[in-house]
Amino acid sequence: MKNGLSLIILLAPALVVILVLFAGGLALGLSQSLGYMPIIGAFGFSLQAYLQLLRSPGFVPSLLLTIFVSVVATGFAVVLAVATALTLRKRFVGKKIVSFLYQFPLTIPHLVVAVGMMMLISQSGLLSRAAFRIGLIGDSSQFPILVFDDLGIGIILVYIWKEVPFIGLIALAVLQTIGSDYEEQARTLGANSWQSFRHVLLPLMTPGIVPGSIIIFAYTFSSFEVPFLLGKSYPAMLSVLSYRLYVDVDLDARPQAMAMSILIALFVLILVLVYRRLSQRFVRRLA
């Protein structure tokens, strides 16, 4: 009993912060998304903001762009992470330096990477100037549009550069744990390199890769700073659209902004539940 009380006392500060900041903010956002805004004289509750949001002309393009960026960034990050993990598990000259550089992106905030990417690949960036200097292009307008483009290429590149080490280190840890015995047995039975990877290594890495991929997808889907800096004004990703509705001078747009935020949070919550379910399934499979 005393131990339980002591534990509650020790956890109380953290629980208070979580309840006040997270639960309180979520409750406020939910109430405003349902139209309860006493500051503008709205005291009722309804789903009007959600209906207006779903019917707005910009919602579907923003949703499709957000899904596209999240899927492409996550997919490329996973493929490159697995490929680099398979390379880093081998011994070669300079491996320590390469491993350090490989992990370096994890220490840099997304906002800094976004600014750096803008300076590097925009039509007035370093690559464009270098291409002009060596005669590949006649002027900066001939350089491919990689920032503020329709497909969010700049946004995708930032997430790939940032998230490849995240997934790669997970895959590398799994590979180092299982060793090379399974591969050697597969090759003894006649399997080639691709078959060993496809039927042996990949299934063993999946319990680590899948949950990590879900985390990356959820983060990319709801992230704000990178699409805000590198994305087009229309269509904008859902997080940017929510922000613009929130800062609109017309307070009548505030419920729609909150409705957008609640929908994003709900989607991320679903992904968290999927992550938990998959993790439990993989744990039971390995037990």
Per-residue pLDDT of the chain (287 residues; tens, 9 = 90+): 556 677 777 777 877 877 777 777 788 888 888 887 877 777 778 888 888 888 888 889 999 999 999 999 999 999 999 999 988 888 888 888 988 888 888 888 988 999 999 999 888 889 998 988 888 888 888 888 888 888 899 999 999 999 999 999 988 888 888 777 777 787 777 777 788 888 888 888 887 888 888 888 888 998 999 999 998 888 889 999 989 988 888 887 888 888 898 888 888 888 878 777 776 666 565 55
- State pTM to two decimals: 0.85
Residues comprising the chain, all counted:
287
Cβ(106)–Cβ(166) below 8 Å: yes
Cβ(245)–Cβ(170) below 8 Å: no
Neighbours of 49 (CB within 10 A): 24
Domains of the chain from N-terminus onward: 59-234 (1.10.3720.10)
pLDDT at 285: 59
Cα-Cα-Cα-Cα dihedral of 207, 210, 211, 217, to 10°? 170
Cβ-defined contacts of 33-36 (< 8 Å, 24+): 33/255, 33/258, 33/259, 33/261, 33/262, 34/255, 35/255
Please calculate the CA angle 96-162-215 and round it to the nearest 5 degrees: 115
pLDDT at 226: 93
pLDDT at 187: 79
pLDDT at 3: 63
Query: Measured between alpha carbons, how far is 10 from 12 in angstroms, rounded to an integer?
Result: 6
